[in-house]
Amino acid sequence: MTNTPARVERAGLKVDARLADFLENTVVPSLDRDMSGFWEGFAQILARFAPRNAQLLAKREELQAQIDAWHIERRGKPHDADAYEAFLREIGYLVPEPGDFSIGYETKVNTIRGERAYADPEIATMAGPQLVVPILNARFLINAVNARWGSLYDALYGTDALDAPAAKPGGYDKERGAAVIAYGRQFLDQAVPLNGLSWADLDVAHPEEVIQYLVDYDQDRVISDKQYRGHTDKVLLLENNGLHIEVVFDRDHPVGVDDKTGICDIILESAITTIADCEDSVAAVDAEDKVLAYSNWLGIIRGDLEDTFEKSGRTVNRRIAGLREYGHYEGQSFLLSGRSLLFVRNVGHLMTNPAILLPDGSEVPEGIMDAVFTSTISTIDMERVGKPIEHKNSWVTPESIYIVKPKMHGPEECAFTNELFDAVEDLLALPRHTIKVGVMDEERRTSANLAACIHAVKDRIVFINTGFLDRTGDEIHTSMHAGPMMRKGDMKSSTWLNAYEARNVATALDCDFSGKAQIGKGMWAAPDMMADMMEQKIGHLRAGANTAWVPSPTAATLHALHYHRENVFEIQKNLPQPPDLKALLTIPLAQNTNWSEEEVREELDNNCQGLLGYVVRWVDAGVGCSKVPDINDVGLMEDRATLRISSQHIANWLLHGVVTEDQVMESLTRMAAKVDAQNAGDPFYQPLIGNEEAPAFSAAKDLIFKGVEQPSGYTEPLLHQWRQEAKTLEKAE
């Protein structure tokens, strides 16, 4: 039996037959243009950019080798910050700052759809939550797209965000419901205050009378005309800080029937943007996986992606939401989008994929393939003349394709992406800068040269985001030979991290992001701990971020409350000066390595448990992101970035003798038993204990013991190797 996929030749490329069929018979025919030269044009892009891609990766390794040598030569000596910075400039790791500049080509930024704008208002002039969702999971993807609007009542009733007794089992708990309703009235009083009246005091027999009363401008304007947007027979549409609120009236609803005003729900505009992720949250290692990713992206762009599943004994069919229509007291009607505005996150520059073989037999650079294929699919969004528009993604003029590009190291790599996107636009006959880019600031060389990185993509950048997890992994790897790192938990209060978060916002504002582009912050990883999220995540707004990542549609609705409390664009005008570059370059070395045996074991077990719990799902099940129990059995949303920290941290302690190989193996064995117990209820789970030579446990060992030599400390090469091995074994059975 052979597992070698069938291939067809296209313009000198050997393309997996499934991928070729998908592109030729499903994607390209959907485009209203001549695509006869598609494969030839793609081959020309590969011939031009694949060698440069390889050169950029070699440059990473060259710089890392020089940094390693610098630290090895100075081992045992006090760190000299001035000499270190001078050395980084000498080798080209640090580059000169660009002069003053502003992002965006010359245009008028306006929140009104249809007028010429640099980016859609969800990106440019609105502040709100952002979801990141694995593109391989159709149900999750549809849920995320539909999370543009979410029920505040549901989000409060079913989580710990509400400080009230939990709902009693056995149906609707009216006591819990009353607490939810009271919270909702308080929120409305804060976000949309009535003139001389509390929302809790409204008491009208017929809901339509409430709407008429509140929007009757012959009265004393009970609701400010700046906050009233429109209404339907049962919905009052309001606005605060740029986000919409629906107050829903329905006496026939189980909640509205007992409400003295007939309010049955409050619907918040929640996840205004979503990133459909082809990268860290998925396990896509071959053509089979990539075709699924691209198929789901096509379904989202066309609006016809569906998913059917069983829930509570009944069949549920999940579809993408359409437009929402409202009237206005002056008589005109208007529409709002029912779906989140979508980015697609391509993979970075590192990985290749066997889906396509180049003329020399090597694998295609996956990032180049993603850029061409996701953009080709996205072009369908612009060609809807005579077609339904309810699922349109970009509405501005000119329309845009939004791609997030992760894991770029420095301005050279950003410039490469800019030129690659130029070439993709030429292939697809798109106007220049149709493809907008989001830059993930998650590698040390990018953080240290952030203004220059932004400058390299200044005419297409619409998003920048800090990523604590990957950024920490790169911090450890870059300074691997400098000495043993502080404990992982202590990183959160380290000098470099505080500088990183503050400088990211300040640099973006200096480049004129406010009102044009998103400044983002990272994920809240604990989806079951919404009370803690509500207390802590408002800090992202107060730091100047106009978007931040959340792990679920429910979390998006709750996080939306923060954007009603704080006006981020006003906050951005008064932020303190950020720390200097030296603070950012402070290496997070342990100041005292006299840890007790128990402290070392605790750190090692924590790292090993998190590593194994994630790897076993990635390698065996092909699940790139899921709620993984941590060592204390708290479910955390994990992806590859977490794995990068854990593996690099253990590798660093091994390198510097803090732990031994025997200690690591003992911890892996102990934690494998714990992970097996945590997954005991999964009938498809293959235990780690007793399968130590199988792909999952082998991958975990490699990630640690080969961690120092991995490019930039990335986990992808080893994960892909062992996932492909696992898939081969599955097919052979």
**CA count, 13 A, side-chain hemisphere, 56:** 22
Q: Which residue has the tokens 């910075």?
A: 85
Q: Centre a 10 Å sphere on the Cβ of residue 395 and count the other Cβ atoms it contains.
A: 18
Q: What is the DSSP letter of 218?
A: T
Catalytic residue among 345, 460, 487, 644: 345
What distance in Å separates the CA atoms of residue 397 and residue 418, rounded to the nearest whole number? 21
What distance in Å separates the CA atoms of residue 672 and residue 70, rounded to the nearest whole number? 38
Which candidate, 133, 134, 136, places its Cα nearest to that of 296?
Answer: 136
Q: Which amino acid appears at position 415 of this protein?
A: A
Catalytic residue among 120, 639, 676, 702: 639
What distance in Å separates the CA atoms of residue 93 and residue 81, rounded to the nearest whole number? 15
What distance in Å separates the CA atoms of residue 612 and residue 723, rounded to the nearest whole number? 14
Q: Centre a 10 Å sphere on the Cβ of residue 623 and count the other Cβ atoms it contains.
A: 19
Which candidate, 500, 420, 493, 494, places its Cα nearest to that of 460?
Answer: 420
Answer yes or no: are the C-beta atoms of 638 and 610 closer than 8 Å: yes
What distance in Å separates the CA atoms of residue 410 and residue 447, rounded to the nearest whole number? 8
Question: According to DSSP H, which parts of 113-235 are helical?
Answer: 121-124, 138-146, 152-157, 174-191, 207-215
Q: Which CA distances in Å does 53 have to 342, 367, 469, 613?
A: 27, 9, 25, 33
Q: Which CA distances in Å does 703 have to 67, 171, 484, 647, 719?
A: 22, 47, 18, 6, 8
Secondary structure (3-state) at 659? coil
345 catalytically annotated: yes
- What residues are paired with 235 via a beta bridge? 248
Active site amino acids: 345, 639
